[in-house]
Amino acid sequence: MTATVARLRHLNLAALEVAAHSWRRQAQQLAECEDAILREVVPPLEHAGWSGPAANDAKHKIGWLDDQLRVASSTARLIAHALEAAATRWRAIQNRLHQLFEDATQHGLLLDDDGIHLPAANPKFIHFEEYQAQRQQLATAAGLLRRRIHELLEAADRLDAEVAETLGRLQPASPGSDGDLVLEQRDVVADTRAVAVLAGYRQSDLPEHDGDPMRAAEWWRSVAPADRALLLQAFPQHLGSLDGLPADDRDVANRAHLDFCLIDGQGPNRDAAHRLREMLRAADGNRPGQMLLLGFDDAGDGQAVVAIGNPDRAAHTAVFVPGITNVLGNMGSQIDRANDLHHAADLMTPAAGDVSVIAWLGYDTPEKDGSAVGWERSRLGGLSLDSFVNGLNAAHEPSPSHVTAIGHSYGSTVVGEAARGGDGLAVGDIVVAGSPGMHAGDASQLHIDPRHVWAGHAGDDPVSGWLGNASGVHGREPHVLSFGANRFGTDTTGHGGYWQPGSLSLNNQAAIVVGNYSEVQLVHGMAPR
Amino acid sequence: MRNKAELAEVRGVAVDPAALRAVGTVLLDTATKVRRVNLDVEADTVPAARAFDGWLSGGALDGLVRFWQLEFTATFDRLGALGNGAFEAASNYTAADQAAHTELTSVDPQYFRGR
């Protein structure tokens, strides 16, 4: 055993805290170095007109160094966090030892760096039975306290080993050499998780995905801000898809997960993930058209949830649910539609940033096979959509915003499932376009005032037209009069034209999204006042 | 004597030495900052390692200091070499521009090649 009473008592934990502070400062300064290279070296070098082999080598080396500084900065931050967590846990053990010593003092026991001792027996009283009994009681108390101290020393040894192992992970992989940055970046997730465990967080302690988003939001608010940053990097996949967490934080987690998939993965969605990352980066800093990655999964066909504008701060949020054959590979087209709707809606509000539109590919869409006529995908999708919308409401400050669910094609069956099940879908309006049915006989079954249910149908759209009518598998088409919803006017053609920029089809949806109901041109129905 | 435009034709570009010098300055400043940061963190971590002398954690802290010192010394050297290389390139292009008797292909600093 390494730990002794003396060592534990006199351990200078302040030195550990000073070191932690220093590493945190170093992380910040390294990030500033990286930023300086990105801003003040790379662009001027591109524009200096310098080319040729030497210039290419220099640019390559500068890029490599920039990556190196970024990895070093994130590792320095991890070291700081590990040292802070270690200091906290060491202090807890040291405090328990001090408490045991206080208990011993109260019992009249003697203390020193070797532990707890009985005071010398008084020869005058040693033959008295009462005195002997007292001595026996004291010996029993001393024995109990010694056992507790022994347990504490064992705990100190375990902590020591855990801290040493964690710090050992945070050394550079190949110090001083041109190491493999990809390998180091791959290790970052595992290293971060080790630090999170040292700080007392395990994946099993995180809220479950099928839990109440409101509780997840409360739990997140209870986590210290510095720990939140650590957890987002340690458990990016879990937290990135946890409904109820703020959009900014989900974005950080999902981008980290996306980066990790690109480093690690060779799967079929690699190209699609790469394209998605490029789209996100291209939109960075573009307010109010900033993109936030609220969900990402590269398994199977791949899924992604991308917000245009921040839904936590927007007064109006639309969640756009696509239909069949949509996968990660064609997420770009969903983002384009969301962008067009966002642009149209944002023009109808007084200030930029009032609107967020979310392209929600958060379910496994049917392929062009029998699954498109089944209800299973929409049932599962509906459960996910319901949770996602509850999460939006839980994360929105200070109170839930006006949320509109928009379902296109099979996506409208997902919206229908979410709305008709349980206590309904927590949205202010439901919009469907090109819908073959919503698994409901009429709008009143959707747990919402039918005046807030809106359906659009282009005359030549077969899905909400003859095809939906003939099959009947998804119920009555919501644009027909007997469904009881408002039918908004459309001027576009086909099944996929409803988001054509400048069209009546799009502008009607935008007006609903921002609650401008009097501006919606209706074919039939009654708009809310 | 070749003028600047003729020199540019040799490589199809007109190099701006001032921009290269500015880049060199940033790289050298960054190298200095990395060096200073590392010295600071070393000064603050060594006492912690001493406080844990005899514990496994103390050894791990020692290792952190030692290996990160190696890493940052290398980073400092690389940044410094790149910064100096940028200055060298700027100087060579300026000289070539002024004298206009040297082929641009010969003025690239050798530092970058084969490193």
Residue A268 confidence (pLDDT): 82
Residues in a beta bridge with A115: A112
Q: How many residues does chain B have?
A: 115
Are B33 and A33 in contact (CB < 8 Å)?
Answer: yes
Of A25, A50, A61, the CB nearest to B89: A50
Q: Describe chain A by its helix, strand, coil percentages, rounded to 5.
A: 55, 10, 35
B60 chain-A contacts, CB cut-off 8 A:
163-165, 167-168
User: What sections of B55-105 are H helices per DSSP?
Assistant: 56-99
Q: Which of A394-403, A405-414, B91-100 has the lowest mean pLDDT?
A: B91-100
Instruction: Return the structure tokens found at A435.
Output: 């819908």
Q: Can you give the pLDDT at residue A430?
A: 97
Query: B 15-54 residues with CB below 8 A of A?
Result: 15-16, 19-20, 22-23, 26-27, 29-30, 33-34, 37-38, 40-41, 43-45, 47-48, 50-52, 54
pLDDT band at A184 (very low <50, low <70, confident <90, very high): low
In whole angstroms, give the CA distance from residue B100 to residue A47.
Answer: 22
Interface contact B20-A50, CB threshold 8 A: yes
Statement: residue B28 has pLDDT above 90: yes
If we measure between CA atoms, which residue out of A140, A148, A68 comes closest to residue A102?
Answer: A148
| pLDDT at res. B103 | 46
ipTM of the assembly? 0.79
What is the average per-residue pLDDT within A302-307?
96
- For residue A304, the cross-strand partners are A296, A361
Pairs of residues, one from chain A and one from chain B, whose beta carbons lie less than 8 Å apart = 174
What's the mean pLDDT when you consider all of chain A? 90
Specify the 3-state DSSP secondary structure of A201: coil
The terminus-to-terminus CA distance of chain B in angstroms comes to: 33
Nearest to B71 by CA among A184, A142, A219, A420: A184
pLDDT band of residue A183 (cuts 50, 70, 90) is low
Percent of chain A with pLDDT over 70: 96
Q: How far apart are CA A71 and CA A183, in angstroms?
A: 11
pTM check: above 0.90: no
Q: A133 touching B, CB under 8 A?
A: no
- In the structure encoding, which two tokens stand for residue A165, read together? 């192992």
Asked if residue A180 has pLDDT above 70, the reply is no
pLDDT of residue B115: 32
Of A40, A49, A170, the CB nearest to B15: A49
Q: Which residues pair with A403 in a beta bridge?
A: A317
Lowest pLDDT segment from A95-99, A106-110, A370-374, A483-487: A370-374
How do residues A427-478 score in pLDDT, each as one tens digit? 999 999 999 999 999 999 999 999 999 999 998 988 887 776 666 688 889 9
Cα A170 to Cα A37, A167, A194, A258, B55: the distances in Å are 24, 5, 10, 22, 18
A513-529 per-position pLDDT tens digit: 999 999 999 999 999 98
The whole-angstrom distance between A323's CA and the closest CA on chain B is 51
Mean pLDDT value of segment A166-189: 71
| pLDDT, tens digit, 9 for 90 and up, residues A138-170 | 899 889 989 999 999 999 999 999 999 999 999
Of the candidates B15, B45, B63, the beta carbon closest to that of A22 is on: B45
Q: What is the mean pLDDT of residues B67-90?
A: 90
Alpha helices in A270-356 (DSSP H): 270-283, 331-346
User: Cβ of A69 under 8 Å from any chain B Cβ?
Assistant: yes
Give the whole-angstrom CA distance, residue A523 versus residue A423.
30
Q: Which residues on A lie below 8 Å from B112 (Cβ)?
A: 53-55, 57-58, 61
Question: Which one, of A439, A427, A357, lies nearest residue A386 by Cα?
Answer: A427
User: Cα angle at B38 between A17 and A68, to 5 degrees?
Assistant: 110
Report the DSSP beta bridge partners of residue A314: none
Which residue in the block uniquely carries the two structure tokens 């302040």? A14
Place of tokens 């994360």: A395
Number of CB atoms found within 10 A of residue A7's CB: 17
DSSP one-letter code for A422:
T
Phi, psi at residue A144, to the nearest 5°?
-65, -45
* pLDDT tens per residue, range A56-65: 888 888 888 8
3-state secondary structure of A429: strand
b (16+ CB within 10 A) / e for A25-43: bbbebbbebbebbeebbee
| Helices A181-198, A53-106: crossing angle, 10 deg rounding | 20
Q: What is the mean pLDDT of residues A234-259?
A: 95
Are A12 and B51 in contact (CB < 8 Å)?
yes
Q: Which of B30, B51, B115 sits opposite A33 (nearest CB)?
A: B30
Chain B within 8 Å of A37 (Cβ-Cβ)? Answer: yes
Comparing C-alpha atoms, which of A288, A447, A318, A299 is closest to residue A388? A318
pLDDT of residue B105: 46
| Backbone phi, psi, residue A296, to 5° | -155, 130
Nearest to A61 among B48, B67, B78 (CB): B78
Is residue B12's pLDDT more than 60? no
Q: What is the pLDDT of residue B84?
A: 92
CA distance linking residue B26 with residue B28, whole number of Å = 6
Confidence of residue A111 (pLDDT cuts 50, 70, 90): confident
User: Is the separation of the CB atoms in A387 and A319 below 8 Å?
Assistant: no
Q: Are strands A303-308 and A291-297 parallel, antiparallel or unpaired?
A: antiparallel
Q: What is the pLDDT of residue B96?
A: 62
The answer to whether residue B66 scores a pLDDT higher than 50 is yes
Crossing angle (nearest 10°) for helices A13-40 and B17-51? 170
Q: How far apart are CA A330 and CA B7, in angstroms?
A: 48
